[in-house]
A and B are shown apart, each in its own frame.
Chain A
Amino acid sequence: AQSVTQLGSHVSVSEGALVLLRCNYSSSVPPYLFWYVQYPNQGLQLLLKYTTGATLVKGINGFEAEFKKSETSFHLTKPSAHMSDAAEYFCAVTYNTNAGKSTFGDGTTLTVKP
């Protein structure tokens, strides 16, 4: 069964510092990969996705992620954190079967310190 592991349920960075949120998946077949962001009391919003093609993908709000097949990873980065980036982030995988249902990681809460 497919699974997603997000390393670190809480990550804290200073404003202006690098943001790195880790995501690994377990599958012999490369999935489609996604990062979502959730602000308090809201639904999830798609940040970026990898389906095919270039392995470095750029998303909204200055975030990007790189698909590394050899490491089965899809880590999310942002060069310089902003206070408004404080939120919960979810990594998800989807395969082109079963109506494309996604499996989500447990989430990482990002705190940005002034």
Chain B
Amino acid sequence: DVKVTQSSRYLVKRTGEKVFLECVQDMDHENMFWYRQDPGLGLRLIYFSYDVKMKEKGDIPEGYSVSREKKERFSLILESASTNQTSMYLCATRGQGFGYTFGSGTRLTVV
């Protein structure tokens, strides 16, 4: 069965910290995505990558960056965490047929 693994289910970080959220897939998919999910706002795309070292901004990239050095790993970086980045973060990959496979999510709290 295909898998998308996010390294942490819950994280608590302090304001100003640099935060790394890791996502690893075992499906050899080229396309990977980072979304954040907030009540009443649905899922909003932060960044996506369609190949190694290739990335594009999504709808809300401010305050975030990404890294994709290897095909299976897509990292989301919060350069200086702020309280308004408290959210659920979801990583996804896309295979043939355009459906996504999601990880279990990381619930980040910035205090």
Contact = CB atoms under 8 A, between A and B. Distances in A.
Interface string B88-111: 001010100111111111010000
B1 to A, nearest CB: 12
Main secondary structure of the interface of B (DSSP, over half): strand
Contacts of A96: 98
Interface residues of A, number: 25
A54 interface: no
A34 B92 CA distance: 14
The 9 closest A-B pairs by CB, nearest first: A43-B102, A99-B50, A106-B42, A104-B43, A44-B102, A99-B31, A94-B98, A46-B99, A43-B104
Interface of B: 4, 9, 30-31, 33, 35, 40-43, 45, 48-50, 56, 58, 90, 92, 94, 97-105, 107
